[in-house]
Every structure is written in C-alpha cells, then in structure tokens.
Amino acid sequence: MIAPSLLSADFARLADEANAVRGADWLHVDVMDGHFVPNLTLGLPVVEALLASTEIPVDCHLMIEDPDRWAVGYAEAGSYNVTVHVEAARDPVRIAKDLRAAGAKAGLSVKPKTPIEPYLELLSHYDTLLVMSVEPGFGGQAFMPEVLDKVRVARKHGLRVLVEIDGGINMDTIEQAAEAGVDCFVAGSAVYGADDPAAAVERLRARATRES
C-alpha cells in the first residue's frame, strides 16, 4: 500500500494535489500542533474540506498534544484511519475504542527513539502500527534504517496490525522497509516531487511488491 503524504504537497492546492495521486491506497495527512512537534500544519476544518474533495481513504496522523481529547473528531469527520502517538496519549486503550466506535481504524505511532517492546500488548487494541523512520515534525528528512528492527519485532510477535512506515521513503529505502515486513508506505517528496505523482505511486508500489 502507498500513502502519499500531503505534507509535501502544495497546501494552496490540496484538492488538486489529492486528485493528482489517483490510485493511491491512502492519503496521508499530517496534523501538527506546534507543541508535540515543532511545526504547525493543518487541523480538523481543513481535513473536513479534504474529505469532501477526495475518494481516497484519508489516513490522519495526529502529531498533537492531548489526542485523548481531539482524535475522535477526525474519526467522526470520516477519516478512514486515525493515528495517535503513544508518547502523547494518556489512555491509549480508550482512544482506540473511541476511534473504532466513531467508525475509523485506530492507529498507534512510535517515534524513532521510542522502543516498541513496552507497547506490544497495547497493540492488540489497534488496527495499525505507524513506525516513524524520521523524527516527526518536518518532511524531507533522511530515512533511519535502525527503526526497521521495530517492524521485525512486531512481525516476530505475530501482531495482527497493519504496519505503516513514515519518513524518508523513496525508491531506494522502500526496498529495505518492504523486506522488513512493512505493509503501507508513506511517501512525500518521492511522490509530490515527481513530474507525475500518480506514476510515482505506481513505481513505488512495484518496487515494494518486488521486495515484500
């Protein structure tokens, strides 16, 4: 699965940028509050507008403080998958239940320096695991291959979650991630930096399928 990241798109043309990646599996939307991460992007009103302008399932990655309070709103708006950070959640089990009750898949994300082992049991309540392969906050960073050990640990424990990876994914790094067992690849500049974003999605998919 390929999930183009709108963080690398033209924010003044979000509807057009979403339509430019027809054929993508998910549309990855980074919500940042300027507190949990040192960047400020977009919030629920923009996500609602985006949901009304695309048929691609929207994958909301909430890099925010207090996701216990705010996450459900993104599910209620119609997001397909809503991911919160374990480092910010006060009651991650409750969040997962609330997200599912609101009609969304529940995702849990870990930063590069956060170990996965303490949260393996917690993941039984979630549908997706998002492994960050860069420090969250800004696009265009270099891929951190050491985080793939978390993917391998999740696979070793037989967790029934979709494993997603976000950060520095391109035609080279997607091979390593696919080999480690990743299911869904978030790609920003590798897609939106291409002359034909939709074709870039298909090239990434072909490369990942070859290595998986």
Mark whether 149 is an active-site residue.
no
d(CA 169, CA 57): 20
**Identified catalytic residue from 98, 127, 166, 183:** 166
Mark whether 68 is an active-site residue.
no
Nearest CA-CA partner of 94 in 114, 73, 71, 77: 71
**Identified catalytic residue from 25, 30, 59, 98:** 30
Q: List Cβ neighbours of 74 (8 Å cut-off, separation of 6 or more).
A: 31, 44, 47, 60, 62, 82, 104
Q: Where are the alpha helices (DSSP H) in the chain?
A: 14-19, 44-51, 67-76, 92-101, 148-156, 173-180, 189-192, 197-211
Tokens of 94: 């409750």
The catalytic residue positions are 30, 166
